[in-house]
Amino acid sequence: MLRQLWTLLRRNPIALISVGMVVGVPIGWYLGAKSAVEKIPIPPAKAAAYATLSNEELKNKSAQLVSAIRGLTRSFYEEDNRIRITADQNSGSTNSQSERERIRKAWIDDSAKLHDVFMDRYKDNFWADAVLLREAIVARVGGAPGAQNPMLFQHPTNILGVEQVANSLELLGKSLPKT
């Protein structure tokens, strides 16, 4: 029985892929549900600070934070673009393929380091405020646009995720009623 099944799967790649999906997806869901999210402690004094603000103050804080986060991402893109332009100029001035590859690798490494520096800046300067503002606004407005993805606020994986945090915070801030 197993031998016939194996023969069928070897001869028919579509069947192999289908069986892999049927077996793999539920296992992935099961294992994914078991993994715990790392909880990063937020100072209690900071957490309580947003709960006492009025809706207008929360809107203002949200707008200020969105502006600061977008300034950070804009700075990243400007610096990354400068690194890329320099690498392109250096690469264009050489005829050696190996030298071009070396320049390309150096550019990729420099860009990755720059990305890490800016992600650290985000985590050090804006992360806790973004999480707390989101929680404070969601507690008041519930399921507003921008509230759907708390994991994005907890763990943005790259600069695009940081931009999404800013976009979500902007939507949340705009969803607060005027009081």
pLDDT in tens, 78-126: 999 999 999 999 988 888 899 989 999 999 999 999 999 999 999 999 9
The span from the CA of 130 to the CA of 168, in Å, is 10
Ordered by start, the domain boundaries in the chain are: 2-34, 44-175
* CA nearest neighbour of 137 among 177, 86, 105: 177
Decide which of 50 and 21 is more confident.
50
Rounded mean pLDDT of 39-48?
Answer: 57
Q: Percentage of residues in the chain with pLDDT exceeding 90? A: 44
Q: Where are the alpha helices (DSSP H) in the chain?
A: 2-11, 13-34, 44-51, 55-92, 97-125, 127-141, 150-154, 159-175
Decide which of 40 and 105 is more confident.
105
pTM comes to 0.70
In the prediction, which pLDDT does 47 show?
59
pLDDT of residue 159 exceeding 60, the answer is yes
* CA nearest neighbour of 170 among 65, 100, 91, 20: 65
